[in-house]
Amino acid sequence: MYRIFIYLLPAILLLSRACTTPGQIMDPLPPATEKPGDTVTGEQLTVSATVVSAISRDGARLSASFTNSSDETVVERGFCYAVTDPPTINDRVITDDGLSTAFSMELSGLEMDTRYATRAYARTNARVVYGPTEFFRTMSNALANYVAPAYADDYSQEGISSWNNRARWNLANVHDPTVEKCGEYFYMYTTDASYGNVHAGRGHFPYRRSRDLVNWEFLGMAMSNDPPAWIKDTLNNIRQRLGLSPINNPSYGYWAPVVRKVGDKYRMYYSIPVDNYIGNGLPNTTANFDNTWTERAFIGLMETTDLATNVWEDKGMVVYSATDRGVNWARSSLSNWDAYFKWNAIDPSFIIDRESRHWLVYGSWHSGIVALELDPATGKPSRPLLNEPDDFGALVARQQNSTLRWQPQEAPEIIYNPETGFYYLFLAYDELSVAYNTRVCRSTSVLGPYTGYDGANITVGANCFPVLTHPYRFSDHPGWVGISHCCVFRDPDAGRWFYASQGRLPANAGGNPNSNAIMMGHVREILWTEDGWPVVMPERYAGVPRESIAESEIAGTWENIILSYSYGRQQVASEISLTVDKRVTGAITGAWSYDPLSGILVIGDYRLRLQRGLDWEANPRAPTLVYAGITSRGTSIWGKKRQ
């Protein structure tokens, strides 16, 4: 009886159907003959899933196909759509007078920011066959009106790299950033570095501000051109105690500040290394080498009550490079890297732990990363620096479990995520011009032990995974290298986590032999895996509106990068295809699925965090979909949908 109903009722219903012109929306029709949601596969007529593209505020493009090996003739095909699920030919329908098996049509007149259900159908004289239901949401005004940032990655080509054009820098000339929010602005402070050293002689620690983390206003320098007097005085007092002559004109570097709000103050910890040889006191050049190591570095402290004023009060020394070798500062040659100093007093980071204890975490390339407890009232060490090096901090991480004093690990950044209950220690590995990459480990205590994704103990020198950033290249762009020395911060108002670092163009990009000296600030959003690990999104943050993502938007061609560690080499994107029938082909194979509630996209064996982002490599730049995750081997996996 059911079969008779299926085959006979449509013929009766079709007698009352209104005629339409091509592209016209049909009047509501009586109920369809197939059960809602069914795709008939046993009757030799099948209709594919609908691919939704070109979504706008009031329209979209729908594409589908049908196959027919039955003895019935398809007399009409098209799409039905509605705000209810599933849509039928009783709802709004669009069709034309063509009968090709593959068909595409343009919807218009839709409501803005509205979720629609749609499915393709094919009609014979006996029945209507539907494809699967797909969903999409029309754009809101925010997404439709979004304007991508227009500043160039290669700012040397735009004529804006000079000091006189600093008002146009935006994120040009960023190295070792730190970000803190004050009022309505985020403030970013950086190492003294610029393309062509155009900042030289104009002060130290460049800074800028932004309301949206996309558009940045360069403001100048946080420290005057004259270094704090205490550095030279302290240096020469130490040298005098060691029987060494004073250095009258030390060569200083100004590196890697960190800014944090502490109570009603903002504290900046900054590092100033002295680049003179210990023995003769002369500047560090090959000609001046006297078979001794270069002098120590110092970490100092400045305070202000308002970052907007840029009025800082210097509070003097916090810590300096510690050694356990006494007066044995001899160095056999410039190729000897068995460092004199055990703890290197640069690259400070600061955190207040769950017990309200204050910590300075610092170190670079020497024997490891250490945590030094501070007095909350002063921001200085909680006990005197008496016995080198034990009083200068407790070891929390090293690059390898050996006696080597020269280890390619630096730039610690430590944060606490109350949602996971872990402290996360981010570390920079390898040299900074190309090979720089970021690792992360975690612990339930500031002092560790810190473990990696594989459970290995980083505090005693295990190799740290996961790799979060690495030299990479998507198509249509030379890509980026030197992506590390990060700061990790949370927007206190929105609760979102971000990763900021520099990125460098590879050598000879655009024919420029000096392109590797181009340092562009990168800000990326951090999302979190289901098991509490951070993932850094592949494309830089650009303020793309956070609209919900419909499953129908995901099918298409993607570029995928697995950031397997390879010293100094860019990992290059490979192509994968996600089909409407949930298959994956190309560099990854298998099936895919998407859970819009959790934002988890599963591609083959990978569980990925999906969000909207900007395709920075496209011309013009345009919003797209991006994903990030961690493989079972502890390596990041990045992807973006090709436009």
* Closest C-alpha among 220, 223, 232 to residue 257: 223
Q: Over 70: is that where the pLDDT of 612 sits?
A: yes
Q: Over 80: is that where the pLDDT of 189 sits?
A: yes
Q: How far is CA 508 from the centre of its chain?
A: 25
Q: Over 70: is that where the pLDDT of 25 sits?
A: no
> What is the H or E stretch that residue 239 is in?
helix 229-241
pLDDT of amino acid 545: 93
pLDDT of amino acid 43: 60
Q: What is the C-alpha separation between 526 and 482, in angstroms, rounded?
A: 19
What value does the mean pLDDT take over residues 481-486? 98
Q: What is the C-alpha separation between 429 and 439, in angstroms, rounded?
A: 7
* Closest C-alpha among 361, 542, 519 to residue 436: 519
pLDDT of amino acid 400: 84
pLDDT of amino acid 6: 29
What value does the mean pLDDT take over residues 599-614? 97
Q: What is the pLDDT of residues 114-172, one digit of tens each?
A: 989 999 999 999 999 999 999 888 888 888 889 999 999 999 988 899 999 999 999 99
Q: What is the pLDDT of residues 545-562, one digit of tens each?
A: 988 888 888 999 999 999
Tell which wins on pLDDT, 21 or 573. 573
Can you spell out the DSSP letters for 132-170?
Answer: --EEEEPPPHHHHT-------S-TTTTT--SGGGGGG-T
DSSP label of 233? H
Q: What is the pLDDT of residues 420-455, one digit of tens each?
A: 999 999 999 999 999 999 999 999 999 999 999 999
Q: What are the residue boundaries of the structural domains of the chain, listed by start?
A: 2-143, 551-641
pLDDT of amino acid 250: 98
* Closest C-alpha among 514, 382, 463, 488 to residue 633: 463
Q: What is the pLDDT of residues 562-571, one digit of tens each?
A: 999 999 999 9
Give the pLDDT band of residue 2 (cuts 50, 70, 90). very low
Q: Are 625 and 549 in contact (CB under 8 A)?
A: yes
**β-pair partners for 441:** 425
Residue 419's region, left for phi above 0, alpha for psi from -120 to 50, else beta, is: alpha
Q: Over 50: is that where the pLDDT of 48 sits?
A: yes
Q: Over 90: is that where the pLDDT of 233 sits?
A: yes
- Strands 472-473, 571-572: pairing is parallel
Give the pLDDT band of residue 15 (cuts 50, 70, 90). very low
pLDDT of amino acid 403: 77
Number of C-beta neighbours around residue 38 at 10 A: 13
Number of C-beta neighbours around residue 561 at 10 A: 23
CATH number (1.10.579.10, 3.40.50.2000, 3.40.50.970, 2.60.40.10) of 2-143 reads 2.60.40.10
Q: What is the C-alpha separation between 193 and 180, in angstroms, rounded?
A: 20
Tell me yes or no: is domain 551-641 CATH 2.60.120.920.
no
Q: What is the pLDDT of residues 330-365, one digit of tens each?
A: 999 999 999 999 999 999 999 999 999 999 999 999
Q: What is the pLDDT of residues 95-127, one digit of tens each?
A: 988 889 999 999 999 998 898 999 999 999 999
In the block, tokens 């500040």 appear at 257
Six-digit token string for 176: 């070792």
pLDDT of amino acid 136: 87
Domain 551-641 in the same topology as domain 2-143? no
